[in-house]
Amino acid sequence: HDLESSENEIKSKIELIGVPSGVGQAKHVSRILSNLIDNSEIGNPNEAINTAIVLPDENLLLPVLYSIPNEIGKINVTMGYSLSHSSVAGLVEHISLLQQNLRKWNNEIAFYHRFVKAILNHPLIILSAKKEADELKEHIIKYNRVVVPVSEIIDNPLLRLIFTPITVWKDITSYLHEILSFLYNILTEINYSGEAVEEKRNSNNSDLEREFIVQYYKTITSLGDRLGDVTAMSVDTYFRLLRKLARGISVPFSGEPLSGLQVMGVLETRT
């Protein structure tokens, strides 16, 4: 009897696929989901409640989210993600290198071209000020600028905020707060306008980016409060402390588990 019942049980189908890189894994997840949709194994892509993506490495979260097919309507993320690996943390890192390497050019403060271009090529900047960023990159190439003086920064509110020379560490908190607030508002506008932007394929990604910005904003505020009584400190030291603080912060995501494609870490599968 036991043998007969076990033969009638539906056996799990497990397929192992060797993929050499994290980005490759994310792209392959996209192909698997598309095949499941095409074969009607995901009957309602707008919900996809019976399908889960389990990530053994939290760093795969953003590549996977950006690779999910457009047919998938709702995505529910339940896992933690290191703040230091977020897109906004990458931008702040570029900004810190920009400010730590200020130059002089014709009696004017200037920025080293490598760090200027790194910022102009960042996804959040492309999303917010693509036209002006492209113009400034063309200007740097056309005039073979090794350094870019403040006077040659194109008149755009976000670029003007970022390319403001900072020489006193106490100015950094308000400087970064203004930049992050501007980016948050841009993402909010995109989220509610319904614009089809290549870098932000759906509102789920925009929501995650905004959450990262909020958490980084809070981290900057926390650091500012802790350093309230400090008098003498360099800009370099401030950014080094901020980097170390961000490394220890994990952003928790806990969405609605009864709706949408489920994306989670290994630990979250236990519950």
Q: Which residues touch 105 (CB under 8 Å, ≥6 apart)? A: 147, 149
pLDDT value for 228: 85
pLDDT-flagged residues of the chain (< 50): 1, 195-202
pLDDT digits (tens, 9 = 90+) for 228-245: 888 899 999 999 999 999
**pLDDT for residue 8:** 66
In this prediction, residue 199 carries a pLDDT of 43
| Secondary structure (3-state) at 202 | coil
Burial of 193 (0-12, 13-18, 19+ CB in 10 A): exposed
Measure the CA–CA gap between 32 and 30, rounded to whole angstroms: 5
Look at residue 255 in the predicted model and tell me its pLDDT: 66
Burial environment of residue 89 by CB neighbours within 10 A (0 to 12, 13 to 18, 19 or more): buried
Task: Quote the pLDDT of residue 3.
Answer: 53
Q: Cβ contacts of residue 52 below 8 Å, gap of 6+?
A: 261, 262, 263, 264, 269
pTM over cut 0.85: no
Can you point out the beta strands (E) in the chain?
52-55, 75-82, 102-105, 108-112, 147-149, 250-254, 261-265
pLDDT (0 to 100) of residue 163: 98
